[in-house]
Structure 1
Amino acid sequence: MALLHVAVSVLTLLSVGHSAPITDCESLTKPVGIQGREQLLGRWTYIAESSDVDGSNVLTKQFVDTIWGKITASEKSDVLHLYQVQKIFDQCFAMKANLTLANNTISMTTPFNSSDILLNTGCTDCLVFLSRHNIGGSPHLGLQLLSKRKIVSANELQEFKKQASCLNLTSPVVFDPEKGFCPDESSSQNPEAFDLNTLIASMDSGDTDVLERFFEKILNPESLMKMFVRIMTNTSEWVSEMENWQ
């Protein structure tokens, strides 16, 4: 989903930043219905995320500076378009996807399989997504906090951390808006973004198996950082680098 990379006025922060947090696990982990696709449209800031994958918070904290995304409507009433950009080591990495909305679930099949539901939140301009996906053939959960603002109040962030704890997920990684955001794809200042869709599409099933085994491991962050830079600057090294981690 998405990041907002424009400043928000102090009055806005004061007006929506003091919503009462939800504190009990039963309420925090309760799925909520999606009140039409209009609820999902627009630009969203990824504020924080958590997962049940060991070491995922270390990887995210080391690699990802900020993320923003934009959800737009398609001609089909049950289909949405997602454009997401991650800022990693001052480089922009873009991904596009079609989302299907049905039975209060948001599903995606490419560039990878996932399904999301919304959870309850006391934040009036936020969305909390509980994601289900597979890594190495095993099901995993992820939790993301998105907002129309680029920062949320301490109470709202604490509520999200409590949600992650209730679901037995890792302590959330909170993205730092001070590190800046990649520009909009239509901006004249937008640099050439690395196309993640092209990379994933170029991988065959053998490459995907290697990638899944790679993500199953708890890896040394310093070594990972060096490897990541080499891969992203020379995509032809992708498979050989991944095979070194089998």
Structure 2
Amino acid sequence: MMESLHVAVAVLSLLSLGQTAPTTNCESLTQQIQMPGRDQLLGRWNYIAESTDMRGSKELLEMSRGTVWLNYVAATEENIMIGSMHLKTFGLCFSMTFKSTLENNTLTLTYPYSSTGFHLKTGCPDCLVMYSNITFGRSSYRGVQLLSRRQKVSAAELEEYKKQVECLHLPEAAILNSEQGFCPDPSLSKDSKSFDLTSFMGADDTTMIDEIFQSGAAVKTFSEVFSQLSSALVEAVNN
């Protein structure tokens, strides 16, 4: 039962001032820009939207009614950041810790999957639009995420991102609903309850998840898992 939970939640984990005029030209929208220095990336970032070419990823993220935020802190090494991801789904909180390397204008991740990412131009002054090439299991995927220091962005900023997704020939993005609420910051709330998934994601897990996505059965498989586990989890937390 718990193994199924770890895999199901890991799937969702894989899966946001002033304003300048939005850009509409595809050449400009898909332009790679200089990655901010590490200090400018530290702190909290809220997931606003995400598009990937993993089959069923949009449906799964919307089905979960989840919200996600990231936090980066500086590691001892000059170009390393320690990231923590906080996912809220079905009223419960899950977390995962990972390392990111910022070098040669590229953000690299090796766990829980391998990815290299760079930033795209955006008219949103406190946003990151991250385009990534991901190796998950035995497969390669592309994705683009919109993150912001705010929990919501303007309609114009969201439309600009949707146009970027279209220009990159990626599927329609899943838009996360911040009104579902976010997991509390564990550094500020000692009583916050969160399931830590960091030690549960290995090569076998990512391969199994990838095979489910490749089969086209991801939505059906994980909706059944969530249906079976959500009530059990709520009961476990209450006890």
TM-score (norm: length of structure 1): 0.81
Change in CA separation of 1:62 and 1:231 when aligned onto 2, cut-off 3 Å: same
Counterpart for residue 63 of structure 2: 62
CA 1:150–1:52 in structure 2 vs 1: closer, same or farther (change >3 Å)? same
CA shift in 2, pair 1:98/1:77, >3 Å: same
Cα distance, 1:142 vs structure 2:
0.8
- What secondary structure, in the 3-state scheme, does the structure 2 residue paired with 1:210 have? helix
CA deviation vs aligned residue, 1:104-155 (integer Å, no higher than 9, x gap): 1111112221111111101011000011112342211111101111111110
SS in 2 for 1:85: strand
- The residue number in structure 1 matching 2:223 is 225
Q: How far apart in 1 are the matches of 2:160 and 2:210?
A: 32
The answer as to whether partners of 1:64 and 1:88 remain within 8 angstroms in 2 is yes
**Equivalent residues in 2 for 1:1-246 (5 A)?**
15-16=17-18, 18-188=19-189, 190-201=191-202, 205=204, 207-219=205-217, 221=219, 224-228=222-226, 230=228
Provide TM-score, normalisation by structure 2.
0.84
Gaps of 5+ in 1: 5-14, 235-246
* Code of the aligned partner of 1:155: A
Q: Could you report, residue by residue, the CA deviation over 1:217-240 in whole angstroms, capped at 9, with x for unpaired residues?
A: 323746522313546868xxxxxx
Verify the 8 A CA contact 2:92 2:194 in the aligned structure 1. yes
The separation in 1 between residues aligned to 2:112 and 2:218, in whole angstroms, is 26
Unaligned regions of 5+ residues in structure 2, if any?
Answer: 1-12, 234-239
Bigger mean CA deviation after superposition, 154-163 or 70-79: 70-79
Residue 201 of structure 2: SS of its match in structure 1?
Answer: helix
Q: Secondary structure at the match of 2:61?
A: helix
SS of structure 2 residue aligned to 1:132: strand
The CA RMSD over aligned residues, in Å, is 2.2
Amino acid at match of 2:213: F
Q: Distance in 2 between matches of 1:67 and 1:82?
A: 13
Q: Secondary structure at the match of 2:85?
A: strand
Q: 1:211–1:105: structure 2 CA closer, same or farther, 3 Å change rule?
A: same
**Matched-pair contact (CA < 8 Å) for 1:32–1:120:** yes
Assess, with a 3 A threshold, how the Cα gap between structure 1 residues 140 and 190 changes in structure 2: closer, same or farther: farther
* Counterparts in 2 of 1:91 and 1:168: CA distance versus 1, 3 Å: same
Aligned-partner Cα distance in 2 for 1:70–1:64: 21
- CA shift, 1:52, in A, is 1.4
Partner SS, residue 66 of structure 2: strand
- 1:132–1:34 CA distance, 2 compared to 1 (3 A): same
Structure 1 residue runs of 4+, over 4 Å off?
Answer: 229-234
CA contact (8 A) 1:52 1:168 kept: no
Whether the aligned pair in 2 keeps the contact of 1:183 and 1:190 (CA below 8 Å) is no
SS of the equivalent of 2:224 reads helix
Deviation string 1:45-87 (CA, Å, 9 cap, x unpaired) is 1111111122211111112421111111111111001011011
> Residue 190 of structure 1: CA displacement?
4.5
